[in-house]
Amino acid sequence: MNCYYSNLIEGHDTHPVDIEPVLKNDYSQDKRKRDLQLEAKAHIAVQQWIDAGGLTGHAAVTARSIAKIHRRFCELLPEDLLWVESPDTKKRVRLIPGEFRRRGIRVGDHIAISPGALPRFIARFEQVYGNLGKTDWIISTAAAHHRLLWMHPLMDGNGPVARLMSHAMLLGILDTGAVWSVARGLARNVAIQGPACQL
The verdict on residue 100 lying in a domain is yes
Per-residue pLDDT at 177 exceeds 80: no
**How many domains does the structure of the chain reveal?**
1
179-34-87 Cα angle (round to 5): 95
The verdict on residue 48 lying in a domain is no
The mean of the pLDDT values for the chain is 83
**63-86: pLDDT as tens digits:** 999 999 999 999 999 999 999 887
Domain hosting 163: range is 55-198
pLDDT band, very low/low/confident/very high, at 192 (cuts 50, 70, 90): very low
CATH number of the domain bearing residue 79: 1.10.3290.10
Candidates 118, 126, 120; CA nearest to 59 is 126
The verdict on residue 27 lying in a domain is no
The verdict on residue 23 lying in a domain is no
The verdict on residue 180 lying in a domain is yes
Residue 152 CA to residue 138 CA, distance in Å, equals: 22
**94-128: pLDDT as tens digits:** 999 999 999 998 888 889 999 999 999 999 999 99
The verdict on residue 165 lying in a domain is yes
Q: What is the pLDDT of residue 176?
A: 63
The verdict on residue 37 lying in a domain is no
Residue 192 CA to residue 133 CA, distance in Å, equals: 31
pLDDT band, very low/low/confident/very high, at 193 (cuts 50, 70, 90): very low
The verdict on residue 86 lying in a domain is yes
Per-residue pLDDT at 195 exceeds 60: no
Q: How far, in Å, are 20, 95, 171 from residue 52 at the CA level?
A: 21, 27, 11
